[in-house]
Amino acid sequence: MRGILAPLSPHEEITLRRVALGFGRRDHLPSQHIRRLEQLALIEEADGALRLTELGLQRYASLGRPVKWDSDTAAEDVSRLLTDRTKPDGS
């Protein structure tokens, strides 16, 4: 039950999401994140690939989903956000 309540770092959460989405090759994921998620019983290795445990599936289902853009102009919106930012020197 601890795996449901234990806080995850943003990087551990990304690793959990990658495993959930089928990108569970051990050599492509940070070993410290894998160890932590295994300790929390959120992931396990099966047939050479990492996969979510039952507890991991519950935890993954509880994660927030990425926000969707309201318009079809997502690329332009992102570009505008990046170019409209004030530089560290205030200019």
What per-residue confidence (pLDDT) applies to 40?
A: 96
Please say whether the beta carbons of 46 and 22 come within 8 A: no
In sequence order, the β-bridge partners of residue 51 are 44
What per-residue confidence (pLDDT) applies to 78?
A: 65
Instruction: Name the CATH superfamily for 2-83.
Output: Topoisomerase I, domain 2 (1.10.460.10)
Tokens of 71: 């318009």
Divide the 91 residues of the chain into consecutive groups of 10 and give the mean pLDDT of each group.
84 94 86 96 91 95 76 65 60 54
**What whole-number distance in Å separates Cα of residue 84 and Cα of residue 79?**
8
**What whole-number distance in Å separates Cα of residue 16 and Cα of residue 6?**
13
Angle between helices 31-39 and 10-20 (to 10 degrees): 80
Is pTM beyond 0.85? Reply is no
